[in-house]
Amino acid sequence: MRSEVQALPKIFLERLRKIIPSHKFDAVANTFSLMRPTTFRVNTLKASVEKVREKLRNEGFRLSEVSWYPEAFILQGKGLRELQETEVYKSGEIYVQGLSSMIPPLVLNPQPGEKILDLTAAPGSKTTQMVCLMKGQGRILANDNNKIRFYRLKANLELQGVNEMVEPTLRYGESLGRVYPTSFDRVLVDAPCSAEGRFSAKEPSSYAYWKLNKVHEMERKQRKLLLSGILALKPGGVLVYSTCTFAPEENEGVLNDALEKLGEQIELESISFSLPNLMNGLKTWEEKTFHPSVTRSLRILPNAQMDGFFVAKMRKR
């Protein structure tokens, strides 16, 4: 493990060592010292992939394709600042988004004409991605409870040209299940979390807030959000739960809590997604044994291009 990584909280690294297989630990830990490239996806409602690629190449940008998502690209050589000066960025023809962040909407797989709930939507990256996946057909209720983030969400919806399809709301996500019971075909709960997957050893501000108390604070909030999302889901509907943290309390523990409370009302499903940096959910954590189906969830291990993430898919019976 590189020496600069040891600047991260000691307890965090000790916990991470218990989560990551020993033969992968050093490689995963070392990613906290890397500067990841800028990644983005094409807003296919405004422009084609070919047109955006051509425009950026004509301006001297080098792009690498993403094998599992044809609409996504990795920027080579230049950075975010240069990309923000381009017309394709200013006109909303692209959306800058982390690769890991693109996976939950792909797993949710919203279809044209469906009614979708994005329970914690700001700043709008996954909301606008889902509109593209739905080919601009259907309805999305995009909610957030933070006023500053809510207005950023509205601005991004306008720039991306999806206002007609998306209804932004400013509410506590924990209450939406009671406001809209059994109303949505699919629900995305991209929960606020302790953000361990985005730690950078070179940026102390990225982890300065971190304490175990923060993990447990987030866990309590996430449990309420997930239950709210399940209540809002139609019978037979699909819900995806995701975080950008490693903490099992915020991931497997939250899923296990929902399964204990709701029993056979919900079922965790396997996720068909193939990447070399995936591992299944944990069976146990600190003397707690989880429901066997929790292992169907996926932990996305960070690498040179991707942040750490966690994704689970469930169906309401």
Q: Where are the domains of the chain?
A: 3-33+99-316, 37-96
Rounded Cα–Cα distance for residues 23 and 82 (Å): 38
Task: Please answer whether residues 124 and 133 qualify as being in contact, where contact means their C-beta atoms are separated by less than 8 angstroms.
Answer: no
Task: Please answer whether residues 160 and 43 qualify as being in contact, where contact means their C-beta atoms are separated by less than 8 angstroms.
Answer: yes
Rounded Cα–Cα distance for residues 100 and 257 (Å): 25
Which positions of the chain have pLDDT values less than 50? none
Tens digits of per-residue pLDDT, 34-69?
Answer: 999 999 999 999 999 999 999 999 999 999 999 999
| Stretch (H or E) spanning 213 | helix 212-232
Rounded Cα–Cα distance for residues 13 and 19 (Å): 10
Tens digits of per-residue pLDDT, 225-238?
Answer: 999 999 999 999 99
pTM of structure = 0.97
| Stretch (H or E) spanning 90 | helix 87-90
Q: Cα–Cα–Cα angle for 250, 213, 31, nearest 5°?
A: 60
**In this structure, what DSSP letter does residue 126 have?**
H
Return the pLDDT at 58. 96
Rounded Cα–Cα distance for residues 58 and 66 (Å): 20
Record the tokens describing residue 79, joined without a space: 């950075």
Amino acid 68 reads: W
By annotation, the residues acting in catalysis are 244
Task: Please answer whether residues 276 and 289 qualify as being in contact, where contact means their C-beta atoms are separated by less than 8 angstroms.
Answer: no
Return the pLDDT at 36. 95
- Over the range 184-210, which residues count as b (16 or more CB within 10 Å of their CB) and which as e? bbbbbbbbbbbbbbbbbbeeeebbeeb
Rounded Cα–Cα distance for residues 248 and 15 (Å): 10
Query: Are the folds of 3-33+99-316 and 37-96 the same?
Result: no
Rounded Cα–Cα distance for residues 294 and 252 (Å): 6
Q: Which of 216, 204, 110, 220 is nearest to 165 (CA)?
A: 110
User: What's the CATH number for 3-33+99-316?
Assistant: 3.40.50.150
| Stretch (H or E) spanning 148 | helix 147-160
Rounded Cα–Cα distance for residues 242 and 43 (Å): 22
CATH number (3.60.21.10, 3.30.70.1170, 3.20.20.70, 2.130.10.10) of 37-96 reads 3.30.70.1170
